[in-house]
């Protein structure tokens, strides 16, 4: 039985770790927030006393943390206790520079690493339908692919270390911009007197079709169930999307890339986050 340590049991990590525990895998979890453990009752997941305990009990370590600062801190604390040949997989969404730097240090200690940020949100994490964008050696990816197949429906090896993070920030910049356009389209349709269910049927089956409509429609009562049906509670927080857009803006500056619409989108999410609505799902952007 494979022994997997899972660090970061919040909105995303909870569903991912539970799905792993349903297979022939021994999962030991750790989170600095004790409240995270409440969601793991009635599961097979064991709880580590500390990082040292988790490292000693695991062959594979997965991290799902809020930002690059947290990833750097946790990986730095774990590496002194690590053993040559252990696998370190980071599923957080962080800046490319930090992702590359922590993996370089880990590889120098004989560890096998991947960056594997995800797309699909909390719903995808709970249902095991995530897409993993992976950076790292092909041999390591092939050895760890079975985990991605348990936690998601798709995994793509995008290139060397940091490539997964690069793909993720490009994807999220597009998603954030698309969500604004979806909201404007439905608002125009409403003002034109259209039945929004009919408009959904048209868009979801024609050239306007996209994930933000088909799977995550931001209009209450339209399309499959989404955070919009729960007053935008839960889901993927606006503050987190704002953070991811910041990573894209920084990366664009570093690479001298032109992202005019991306910057406008970033400014909009910044405004909403600073207006104390950062806790709401990012699709709430259509109401602002």
Residue 168 falls in the annotated catalytic set: yes
Residue whose structure tokens are 């604390």: 77
Q: Which of 14, 168, 243, 277 is catalytic?
A: 168
So which residues are the catalytic ones? 168
């Amino acid at each position: 039985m494979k022994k997997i340590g899972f660090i970061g049991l919040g909105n995303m990590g909870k569903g991912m770790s539970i799905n792993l525990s349903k297979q022939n895998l021994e999962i030991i979890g750790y989170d600095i927030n004790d409240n995270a453990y409440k969601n793991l009752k009635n599961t097979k997941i064991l709880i580590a006393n500390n990082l040292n305990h988790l490292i000693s009990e695991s062959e594979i370590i997965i991290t799902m943390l809020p930002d690059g600062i947290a990833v750097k801190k946790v990986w730095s604390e774990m590496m002194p206790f690590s053993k040559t040949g252990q696998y370190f997989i980071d599923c957080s969404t962080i800046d490319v520079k930090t992702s590359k730097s922590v993996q370089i240090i880990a590889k120098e200690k004989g560890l096998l690493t991947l960056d594997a940020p995800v797309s699909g949100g909390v719903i995808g994490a709970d249902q095991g339908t995530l897409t993993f964008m992976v950076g790292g050696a092909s041999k390591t990816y092939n050895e760890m692919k079975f985990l991605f197949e348990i936690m998601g429906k798709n995994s793509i090896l995008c290139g060397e270390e940091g490539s997964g993070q690069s793909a993720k920030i490009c994807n999220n910049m597009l998603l954030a911009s698309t969500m604004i356009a979806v909201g404007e389209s439905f608002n125009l349709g409403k003002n034109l007197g259209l039945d929004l269910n009919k408009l959904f049927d048209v868009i979801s089956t024609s050239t306007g079709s996209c994930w933000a409509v088909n799977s995550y429609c931001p209009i209450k009562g339209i399309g499959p169930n989404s955070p919009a049906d729960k007053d935008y509670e839960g889901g993927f927080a606006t503050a987190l999307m704002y953070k991811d857009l910041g990573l894209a803006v920084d990366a664009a500056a570093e690479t001298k890339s032109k992202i005019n619409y991306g910057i406008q989108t970033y400014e909009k999410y910044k405004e909403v986050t600073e207006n104390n609505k950062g806790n709401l799902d990012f699709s709430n952007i259509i109401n602002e």
